[in-house]
Chain A
Amino acid sequence: GAVVSQHPSRVICKSGTSVKIECRSLDFQATTMFWYRQFPKQSLMLMATSNEGSKATYEQGVEKDKFLINHASLTLSTLTVTSAHPEDSSFYICSARADRNSPLHFGNGTRLTVT
């Protein structure tokens, strides 16, 4: 089945630093990837839609200058949390699909802790 790899699985950083999270589709090409945030015991909250070769589309209330998304190739999207603060601590999950008729496949998530 389709595999989406996300790294790192866990990261701890100091307040004010930036953290980059990578999302790769390993056995399929993904023109579109999605970034979600999940709070404990809650469902997924879509942050942005990442399209290969173009700018990401951000959901209302998500700061695009804080959460930088780059989708440079058909198999890689990155999310950079800039100038991280403790309130950015969360579980970030990426997903990808091969085409419009395919289901989403998710990475295993990245647990970010900002101290």
Chain B
Amino acid sequence: QKEVEQDPGPLSVPEGAIVSLNCTYSNSAFQYFMWYRQYSRKGPELLMYTYSSGNKEDGRFTAQVDKSSKYISLFIRDSQPSDSATYLCAMRPEGNNDMRFGAGTRLTVKP
């Protein structure tokens, strides 16, 4: 079993839809949780960064962390074609370099 599980998709939605992306993990020591967006042939771009459980909102993006269920989510409201990319979840324990990445979910938002 992988430490971080993420459905690779592909996921295709119409423009304006609400997108839900998820990751599960097995290591209860993870404390920092991140979502990155990666366009083709580019490096990952940090979207959301949260510590421990809770919600965080930034514009059209909302990140949720449920440590009791070892489950994190990223919601994209009013999705746009420019949101089409691969979304990677990432997490690590406190005071530790040991970052773990999900496989990435490929999202396409159709106009």
Interface residues of A, Cβ cutoff 8 Å to B: 1, 4, 6, 32, 34, 41-44, 46, 49, 91, 93, 95, 100-101, 103-109, 111
Contact = CB atoms under 8 A, between A and B. Distances in A.
A79 to B, nearest CB: 14
B41 A91 contact: yes
B97 A106 contact: no
A93 B99 contact: no
Contacts of B111: none
Which secondary structure characterizes the binding site on chain A? strand
Dominant secondary structure of chain B at its interface with chain A: loop
Contacts of B36: 106
Given A34-B97, A43-B88, 11 more contacts: A43-B102, A43-B104, A93-B44, A103-B32, A103-B49, A105-B46, A106-B36, A106-B43, A107-B43, A108-B42, A111-B41
A1 B32 CA distance: 18
